[in-house]
Structure 1
Amino acid sequence: FAIKKCMDYVDDEIKQNVSNKLVSWFDVEKDYVDDLLKDI
Structure 2
Amino acid sequence: MEIALLPAMFFAGMFAGFLMACIVGVTLWNRMREGG
TM-score (norm 2): 0.69
Q: Does 1:8 align with 2:14?
A: yes
Q: Deviation of residue 7 (structure 1)? A: 0.3
Structure with higher helix content = 2
Give aligned-pair identity as a percent: 11
CA distance in 2, matches of 1:25, 1:3: 33
CA RMSD of aligned residues (A): 0.5
Matches within 5 A, 1:1-40: 1-27=7-33
> Which stretches of structure 1, 4 residues or longer, exceed 3 Å deviation after superposition?
none
Report the count of equivalent residues: 27
Higher CA-based Rg: 2
